[in-house]
Amino acid sequence: MTSQAKHSDLYRLTAIEAVDLLKRGEVSPLELVEAAAARIEATDGALNAMPTLCLDRAREQARRIMAEGRNGDRPAGWLAGLPVAIKDLNDVAGVRTTYGSPIYADHVPERSDVMVEMLEENGAVVIGKANTPEFGAGASTFNEVFGKTHNPWNLEKQVAGSSGGSAAALAAGQVWLASGSDLGGSLRTPASFNSVIGLRPSPGRVAHGPKPRPFSTLAVEGPMARTAEDCALFLDAMAGMHREDPLSLPAPATPFLETVRARRKPKRVAFSPDLGLVPVDRRVLEICRQAAEAFAGQGISVEEACPDFSGALETFQTLRAASFAANMGPLLREHRDKLKPEVIWNIEKGMALNADAIGQAEVMRGELFHRVVAFFESYDLLLCPTAIVPPFDVDVRYVEEVGGVKFDTYIDWLGITFTVTLTSCAAVSAPAGFTADGLPVGLQIIGPPRGEAAVLTAAALLEEATGIADRLPIDPMAAGGASYMA
């Protein structure tokens, strides 16, 4: 193989393979920056996953890591110079960061988010910003600044959101790792729609900020990757305490990657078709049942069971609306004409709440937490679909109806993920299979609070059973499976 051919194939490596090459000196951070840039140039015309690139910044950082390595100034960190994508909700110093909003279309922050700073300290090279919905709201990746992102498995379909650009970039091989964030399913749903891994960690596992509401526990940052072990590696690079995040947790004594590689199997897991909350498309349900059976095929006890999630839908809607009012009330007063209707509705819903409604929601959240903790005394994990539908038309803003059940709001279709948010449990979406027309479906694997290692291990076991990870990265495909790059 010529060096040019080798260079052109670098995007096919897993993150772990790429980092191993970096640490052995067989490839340089700068070579990987150029490989990622070439892959983005070849595919993003179809996807629009990475609308903002910072290649000169990435090259400078790559050269700095290479120089420090030669001088022996410091270890290469977890990622050793691996290029990564950062979701456009997180600040990167000196790089255009829009939050998907026309209000911030020309915003260039002076300082990076704490998570980004920690990643760069651990050897990450930021290559660009991944597309996201306006302020991450709506779980469909489109905005007035950059437009819509297309699904690489079928360019006519949605990538979901809000970490949709990150998920599509991973699936297409534009980057080896990508960051995401999750309030109501924003890491998990796009992972399902793009057949990648998306982990929502427990609050505090990944430090972020500085934020005006640092004690909030609904929204978290987390890793996305093509494989479970890659995701564990990325979580190791993210995890750790930071003085500006009062909820941040110390890194584990045993790295996540080491624990996942040990493949300690759960003994007893539960499967629920719908968490008792929402209708699920029959195609999705059948694929997720088969994925649950894959655990049984590995000698793991699988039973149909579920905690009591009653009241969870209303509880989340109330707490989310209160959060929107607190975070974006001033934007509504000053820039109403630049906000999409769904965001306006959510802010106004929050402003209309009274203290009693918010207090009751907090109490109900606490009751749900205790029920779920009790459930995990009997079961190691809970399995269910990640998304209630396969990827839908890219021009559709959100799901309005499933199985004859009409939804009242633009986020109701995410109930199967946002109710899990309330519990503070670790949850990952892992590829489960494909519909007859080739659309990805994810299985949501939920563990106890701070159970990131357990859910990633289960994702790795499922990955071995299905072999789906071997199909990534893919060339963007038109409807019917024809390669965009053919």
Coil, helix or strand at residue 394: coil
C-beta of residue 237 within 8 angstroms of C-beta of residue 221 = no
Q: Looking at residue 161, what DSSP letter applies?
A: S
Using alpha carbons only, give the angle 264, 267, 268 rounded to the nearest 5 degrees: 140
Rounded CA-CA distance 190/159 in Å is 6
Q: How far apart are CA 217 and CA 454, in angstroms?
A: 21
Cα(453)–Cα(465) distance, rounded to whole angstroms? 19
CA geometry: angle 253, 258, 259, nearest 5 deg: 80
DSSP SS3 for 287: helix
The Cα–Cα gap between 184 and 294 comes to: 27
Contact 391, 157 (CB under 8 A): yes
User: Among 112, 166, 186, 248, which one carries the catalytic annotation?
Assistant: 186
Contacts of 56 (CB under 8 A, 6+ apart): none
The yes-or-no answer on residue 181 being catalytic is no
422-457 in b/e burial notation, b at 16+ Cβ within 10 A? Answer: bbbbbbbbbbbbbeeeebbbbbbbbbbbbbbbbbbb
Q: Measuring CA to CA, which residue among 253, 307, 250, 247 is closest to residue 276? A: 307
Tokens of 307: 């905690």
- Name the phi and psi angles at 199, rounded to 5: -110, 125
CA angle 18, 221, 62 (to 5 degrees): 35
Q: Measured between alpha carbons, how far is 18 from 353 in angstroms, rounded to an integer?
A: 50
Options 87, 129, 157, 340, the catalytic residue? 87
Buried b (16+ CB within 10 A) or exposed e, 179-209: bbbbbbbbbbbbbbbbbbbbbbbbbbbbbbb
Residue 186: active-site member:
yes
The answer to whether 195 and 167 are in contact (CB under 8 A) is no
Residue type, 33: V
Q: What is the distance between the alpha carbons of residues 345 and 320, in angstroms, rounded to a whole number?
A: 12
Produce one character per residue of 296-313: b if its CB has 16 or more CB atoms within 10 Å, e if not: eeeebebeeebbebebbb
Q: Please report where in the chains the tokens 């670098």 appear, as a residue.
A: 10
Do β-strands 301-304 and 220-225 pair in parallel, antiparallel, or remain unpaired? unpaired
Of 112, 162, 202, 429, which is the active-site residue?
A: 162
Q: Is 483 a catalytic residue?
A: no
Q: Comparing C-alpha atoms, which of 6, 12, 42, 11 is closest to residue 26?
A: 6
Catalytic positions are 87, 162, 186
